[in-house]
Amino acid sequence: MQQNQLVKLANTKMPYGKYKGKYLVELPEPYLVWYRSKGFPKGRLGEQLSLMLEIKINGLERLIYPLMEK
């Protein structure tokens, strides 16, 4: 994974649904687990949600926060 992909991940917001407008890192882990069970959306958003779940499962969210643009 390239650094610019992580920066994009850190600054991507959920485009729809209950958590619309929240950064992906702010999504609750149970929500991401639910999404995995239902199937992540196709395309880049699905890839990002899947990666964010792996980051959260492994307790690595602290690596994402410094990359967020304020």
Query: What is the tens place of the pLDDT at every residue in 23-42?
Result: 999 999 999 999 999 999 99
Determine the structural domain holding residue 59 and report its residue range: 3-67
Q: pLDDT digit string (tens) for 51-69? A: 999 999 999 999 999 999 8
Check residue 70 and give its pLDDT.
72
Q: Which residues pair with 13 in a beta bridge?
A: 23
What pLDDT sits at residue 4?
A: 87
Burial of 70 (0-12, 13-18, 19+ CB in 10 A): exposed
Q: Is residue 48 within 8 Å of residue 23, measured between CB atoms?
A: no
User: How many domains is the chain built from?
Assistant: 1
Q: What is the pLDDT of residue 1?
A: 59
